[in-house]
Structure 1
Amino acid sequence: MSAVVWIAAGSLTAWLWLLLGQGFFWRTDVRLPPRVEPADWPSVGVVVPARDEAGVLPDSLPSLLAQDYPGRAEIFLVDDDSSDGTGALALELAERHGGLPLTVDSPGAPPPGWTGKLWAVRHGIGLARARDPEFLLLTDADIAHAPDSLRELVAAARTGGFDLVSQMARLRVESVWERLVVPAFVYFFAQLYPFRRIGTKGARTAAAAGGCVLLRTDAAERARIPDAIRHAVIDDVALARVVKGDGGHIWLGLAERVDSVRPYPRLHDLWRMVSRSAYAQLRHSPLLLVGTVLGLVLVYLVPPGALFVGLAAGSAPTMAAGGIAWLVMTGTYLPMLRYYRQPLWLAPLLPVTAFLYLLMTVDSAVQHYRGRGAAWKGRTYARPGTAFEER
């Protein structure tokens, strides 16, 4: 039992450090500050890359068209070689709903070395820059914005002097699997990239949420966005790193009125969402993969295991270390469940969700070595910098 006690103690130590030493990642109060309206409202170009998004556009695009923004704003939806009539539907929605001006264009398939989304973003930024906007709003086609979303983002950037302001859109949580997996997805993301550190000048931590990124145009030019990250599968984090590395001041927080309308009703859908980029997050390193698996086991699976082993063996130290670690884990997950308006009894089930993420991460590596890499909407990026494959 001595080895089990030491492993349980190591897990408890890890949780105490995460609780106090990882930027208070578990708190969910990093939100946009109260709006202070600027004396003049800068112009904004809204860039929306879209590939086969006809299923979600009716729930998202009207919210952009209806933005209540006092300055000049224009939407540029870039149809990334869609096969479902995405571009035509966007024009139809604009004609039906009115609102902000909408331009729909397509650059065609991406050349070698570019991901499809970033090739579309490059084209959209080019269209927007012809209007000389001060800011660019990069937002995904499945994101619905409250009418004052653009106002809030621009006011926060102006007031805080930020070059990049990003909000983590509230993902859909309706199916059983979404309830189990989605809040944990954001929780794990915040654990890797504590929001408080992202917004701190001088801190190395950098990340953004690709669904909603407001970026100063001059900062994008200095950082050569998106050319500098053209091959990135996890493009939002790569974008934030480049902007911050170039001296930019960035901010990321949880959204209150920016929502993803994309459904993930089945475990298979969520599995694809995570596994398509998990190994890319680990820089395709077998060593980092092994370390991540061992870390997930130590941090998330050892606490309940130690508690039950301690109970069965009558080992009070093992039982105590495992039980306290599990209790700390559960407590840190509660704020995220409250943010997602989910029942708090889901918190003790976090080890189950972590085990699913462990399997998804391993599967991501397996798919990579099978040559399938990051597969998304008919394209596969086997390795950084390689051309896509249609399938």
Structure 2
Amino acid sequence: MKVPCVDQLRARRTKKWMAFEDDVLPFWIAESDFSTCPEVKDAIRQAVEDESFGYPPPPVDLQPAVADFYQRHYGWRPNPEWIAAIPDVVRGLFLGIEYFTRPGSGVVVPVPTYPPFLMLPKATKRETHLISAEGGIDPKAVEAEFTRGAGALLLCSPFNPLGFMLERETLVELAEIADRYDARILVDEIHAPLTYDRPHLCAASVSDTAAKVCITVTATSKAWNIAGLKCAQLIFSNEADVQRWEELPLLIREGVSTIGQIAATACYTEGDEFLKQQIPQLRSLRDYICEELPKAVPGLKVNKPEATYLAWLDFQDTPLAEDPARLLLEHGRIALNDGRDFGEPGVSHARFNFATSREILDEACERMARAYRHLA
């Protein structure tokens, strides 16, 4: 797949490329550097030609597109009529906590985690119940927090930033525990198309109980790199949740972008070939950084993800351990996510986005080596 040169990437003027000075290479936020899927560009171009700039229609094209994509790729076809369009995944998780969990109940957050997961309990005025995600999600740890009053589990599947995928047995057990404690599992599947060695398994699909307790949120923003178009999907898997959703005021349920809805539909209906080309390239890049980054920074441990284009880097045994992101920015002019933003286990860690070209990754290795040499 083609990756534009650095000057062309900067010309995109997206958050990834605008947050730092021009001499800094960004490997932080989860935007990829690949050229946009041609079919998606065509759909957007046609929408502009048609002047599709008004309020969005009901998602009658998007709903079956999502359901059919899920069937093709994950072996589960959700009811198209139970799929809602919303602006973004974090909004969906917020609404899930606010309107589909026991009032006032706490939220279980496995850490290290995607930083907004740590903000959501506070935003909904709920207590945060932290558990460890290192080594996977432990159902017994989740159950212990449910006994302390938590009423929801925020589950990123595949998991960001550690990149692991959840096993069927774990998902079945989590669903049974949630049902036993009148709790909900809010599942973020935004990275689901980006798996390397086996298909994603949808949490809501593993049992009738899972369908009852899970609410799934997803989007095309990671796999096709269109986060700025603001169209995610809430996938309900039981009728009671659908009825509850339809009772909510339109003010709460609306906000999706018209062109985002068109683009997302194109991703799901015409974007399979793009994924087929992207996955092998990402797998090669993943393997490359797992081999090369420890050479650049002796002592560095690189977590090899099963999914996502995000690697979790452990600098504890390196001269950068005190503050890896700051020191790499200062001495290497390279921007990574500060691991501390992902929770206490992120101390001496950083998250690295490898969805770019081999040439840019080579430069990342050189800059990290430069920072290491300066501090060693």
Could you tell me the TM-score, scaled by structure 2's length? 0.31
Could you tell me the TM-score, scaled by structure 1's length? 0.30
